[in-house]
Structure 1
């Protein structure tokens, strides 16, 4: 079984089914890890990945790299792009890999099974764009114990990793400062 097939099976098992996103996430992971000199078939402890989308490919990246939100080694940047930046935390070397289908219009005419087969075999330079990048990871975004804890003066909830806001001398969480994604109804 090739490196691709082994890693694809791992991603498929984690995600629960096969779809184009799992194929692309597998290809993205293989390229990113290769560019950083990291062997995906060995335990990975020196990697942070920034995903720019919250779709199926993210599950493939998580399954293959072992990076996760809970370990603070998988970061979500909601840009809506099928792209990921892989950062070797030992060397500081970083690479951004994005999907760049040169023949996307043709692929859209195929049925899903044909697309999955095609995306697995298409030459890498026809589907991926790989860029060496520089990234600075703030201390409060790195894995490990929380950095800087505060308590919101309005709701009383704890805020970790310097995510609080000081407004008119009061420590506030982002929700209470007016940036909430929800509205309390009771």
Structure 2
């Protein structure tokens, strides 16, 4: 992605509405089975991005509902932060509104498919160091992060950039009803993820984009069934 710093006057020195933040954190904790600092950070990044995109008000209300799939979210890591982002945006892998591009970074790109506005949201470089400032009496640095990330103002916690995608949005979204067969392995390919090479339809694995190799030493032996 190429990027330029988003207009800083779009981020104001406020924190999210506390009842809303508490609700989102409770829901994230239920999904994740506990609450941790990166979930809080994920919720805050997403809320800040939604506010800048104008998908929620400047007071963070009302809660954003993504029933019409207007928002597409790309998260740059899996784990705790992804759960916080998913809860706040309403985006899910199952609805094809949340994608993981694993760069190992606590960051997310929010794409308003209606207005075509795209922003990338990440923590500021000094956000970790602010934990002891905003939670000086926390019993540990972990607890300081947990508390501070809930109350640090947006302009100190969040960095927002306006970005452009390296692929057309239509290609990323694709058409979910398209199905073709790979000419080499004969497996079905959906969502327009095939590669056409010299007129031949190939899945990404057969085209060389592989994340696994078959293990020839493993063989499945059919179980014998007794017949009476």
> What TM-score bracket applies, with the shorter chain setting the length?
0.7 to 0.9
Q: CA RMSD in A?
A: 2.4
Between stretches 14-23 and 42-51, larger displacement belongs to 42-51
List runs of 5+ in structure 1 lacking aligned partners: none
Query: Are 1:163 and 2:180 counterparts?
Result: no
Q: Normalising by structure 1, what TM-score?
A: 0.85
Q: Contact 1:140–1:161 (CA<8 Å) still a contact in 2?
A: no
Larger radius of gyration: 2
Number of positions where the alignment pairs a residue of Structure 1 with one of Structure 2: 184
Q: Which residue of 2 aligns with 1:43?
A: 65
Q: Contact 2:176–2:192 (CA<8 Å) still a contact in 1?
A: no
Q: Superposition pairs for residues 32-181 of structure 1, below 5 Å?
A: 32-39=49-56, 41-44=63-66, 45=68, 46-104=70-128, 107=131, 110-135=140-165, 137-142=168-173, 145-147=176-178, 149-167=179-197, 169-181=199-211
User: RCO greater where, 1 or 2, for CA within 8 Å and sep 6 or more?
Assistant: 2
Q: Distance in 1 between matches of 2:115 and 2:209?
A: 36
Q: Distance in 2 between matches of 1:94 and 1:63?
A: 19
Q: Normalising by structure 2, what TM-score?
A: 0.71
List runs of 5+ in structure 2 lacking aligned partners: 1-17, 57-61, 133-139, 219-228
Q: Distance in 2 between matches of 1:14 and 1:43?
A: 18
Indicate the SS of the match to 2:122: strand
Q: Structure 1 pair 143/11, CA: closer, same or farther in 2 (3 Å)?
A: farther
Superposition deviation, residue 178 in structure 1:
2.4
Indicate the SS of the match to 2:126: coil
Superposition deviation, residue 72 in structure 1:
1.3
Q: Distance in 1 between matches of 2:53 and 2:91?
A: 15
1:135-176 CA-to-partner distances (Å, cap 9, x unmatched) read 4643243276334x3211221101123322234553221112
Q: Distance in 2 between matches of 1:94 and 1:168?
A: 34
Q: Runs ≥4 in structure 1, deviation > 6 angstroms?
A: none
Indicate the SS of the match to 2:208: helix
